Structure 1
């Protein structure tokens, strides 16, 4: 099989990139190791920056998102006693959208056949070849049969554990990584949210987050040690802990219910440079990971896709090699700013095992400053709603 662009990974980054390139008339094939049902079964974040919603609108797939998504004009920081409102619309003139990553992925998947976007699911043993040449290709197996896709470019949107990043030689690459000494225990429940806007809480017992997927489905998190186990957290204990950490105002509105899903996720900051080598281009989690504090993961992947689709479209329109060469630098400039913001919020809101009384006082002082300073709230709002592309 031959195509102009082969994309590895059919998550939201790979599918969004495929649709953007197809809209420009570029031939694309997407290869995914998992089944379509497995891809849709991933429970992920759902706060979308304007950058992400604009890309969905550009390819004409934003109708259901705007109909069913929840527009948010702000969010709250909490210190166990009070809520500090960050009015992002008043401070920046923009809003964010709460729309589950699963739903966004479903919209992209459903539209693929009608737009000529070919997706190969359940492709095993995917391997990238000759990425430093002008004729790279992908090999994989499906149903016990070997296949090959020849392309002019290969785009790795296959996540942290995918094969695409491995195609970049270690001699030309640098990885930057920070692993955090705690995780997030999350619960998904069919109960109305305790607040109409997200609450990120700093409490002496640890971080908590109140979020939602819809007006009737809520997602909550608490900070736990990395070696903790879900069995240690029956539903009632988790609801009790959320009521303490989120503070009395939020606790008064918490509606309890049985868990639909419960899991513990580690936190990591990771950046891989460069995001392009030869004819392989990386995007999303294959090149970087941010802590979920601040909701940057999916949105950062969307900004990568914006830059990458621009570069490849210019190449196929006018043989613009400079646009391809500039991709990594453009993407990384925004990546590092998002990494800084997520790292900063994580430091502000979590309890670290090695922190002492001084560190705790610094967190409290920072929250007091944010509560009293329009400039501080503006800086947070600008980063939360998404920096300009």
Structure 2
């Protein structure tokens, strides 16, 4: 599984974390200011301080975030809450000063979504949308969701430990978690190196979305990060100076994850109508095109059975010299939603299963963004076999990012 950097003008990188908590409980932290208060306590190696410059945790709130001493580059950055949706558990913060803007970014936006998955669990989806300043086109900075992944895990642990016997949040407002650097550096690290785009990391929390949102929705997350991961942010102060630790964010070089179970997501903006993109992704055409457009990824894709609908099985052959015990893999289409432009393929035989994965599922979503543009969201859901716990295989979205870009260019030219 090659690890390639994205070099497109637009894109996104996201991380999902399953909380095991109700969405409402998580939102109770993320939805207001609590998350900013907690992060410096839980992850001091990420943020040392988060201060409120103005606002009450709603849209328009400004935070000043301070990084730990010794962090390369700017010591602080400011971020502004531009969207706080308490109904759908969505929060967006835009960096307005310092930090990322001092490292070549023209735009840097973080979106937190607390998604209710089942009755008692939810997912924290952390997405980064960015645009690089033209002065840095030749040497664009690298974007990573690893810090947001660390925060999601730390907040989830905090919420779980604060829930009382009656499964409600206790009144304790602060929890000191073990500050182990491996908690941060061992998380999935998605990166992209591009002039404009968005980066998304998804982390399954095992918590209800509401519980996670209680931290992410306000300032609590900002308060927790400097405590939980001080190596990322040393301080967050309302007027959020979304400052990143250059050594942590800007020097990451692979969009990969190495964990026992989880999901990894890449988003690519096409500049094309969703219907046009779906004509390629929705059936067999994508499989026919990839070996022609990207022979270094797949040398051949053959139909074993089916006509492109649910139940279709493909045999995918890798180029000669591909490392690993398997030269091929079989995948089965288990979902094709022509109305919502969603397609899911499950690996049923070969390469990924031979390299330690117990489950490997790929989901493509073609999302209409504007009248004449759409996003290709490529998601991998995986589970590692117990026999490979000590040395789990690496999952990467880099190949799917390359496919999204190649197919988009193909459609534009044709």
Normalised to the residue count of structure 1, the TM-score between the two structures is 0.22
Q: Which has the higher strand share?
A: 2
Normalised to the residue count of structure 2, the TM-score between the two structures is 0.21
Relative contact order, CA 8 A, sep 6+: which one is greater? 2
Q: Which has the higher helix share?
A: 1
